[in-house]
């Protein structure tokens, strides 16, 4: 279990950094006038979504194994909401923001980076 706990801690910082990279990519692409997401940016967002999903899955395994954080807000809010944010942003993008996808995903990634940072303080 110590290995999983160590992975969970390390992956949290890696996910924050990755979401910051995705935020900068999206905001720069928007600033430069690109109207489509682009393959590289879409792949970066997909890697981030998988990383956050893995983070939540490892957190669930730790929770079931009895290694619970001091504050259940960590599990109830951050563990359940973080993996849903990028897929929800994708649904919004498909329905309403096709021409502003880079901006929408850039802001979502920036929010997610801050959200993950806040999650590390509630653990």
Residue 123 pLDDT > 80, yes or no? Answer: no
The pLDDT of residue 98: 87
The pLDDT of residue 72: 83
Report the domain count for the chain.
1
pTM beyond cutoff 0.85: yes
Domain assignment of residue 16, given as a range: 2-122
Q: Give tens-digit pLDDT for 8-30.
A: 999 999 999 999 999 999 999 99
Separation CA 67–CA 78 (nearest Å): 16
- Kindly state the average pLDDT of the residues 45-56: 97
Q: What is the DSSP letter of 99?
A: G
Separation CA 3–CA 100 (nearest Å): 41
Separation CA 119–CA 123 (nearest Å): 7
């Amino acid at each position: 279990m110590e290995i999983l706990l160590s992975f969970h801690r390390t992956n949290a910082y890696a996910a924050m950094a990755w979401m910051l990279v995705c935020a900068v990519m999206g905001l720069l692409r928007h600033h430069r006038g690109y109207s489509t997401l682009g393959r590289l940016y879409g792949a970066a967002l997909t890697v981030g979504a998988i990383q956050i999903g893995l983070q939540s899955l490892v957190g669930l395994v730790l929770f079931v194994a009895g290694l619970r954080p001091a504050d259940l807000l960590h599990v109830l809010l951050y563990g359940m909401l973080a993996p849903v944010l990028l897929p929800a942003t994708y649904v919004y993008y498909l329905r309403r923001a096709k021409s502003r996808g880079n901006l929408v995903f850039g802001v979502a990634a920036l929010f997610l980076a801050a959200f993950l940072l806040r999650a590390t303080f509630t653990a």
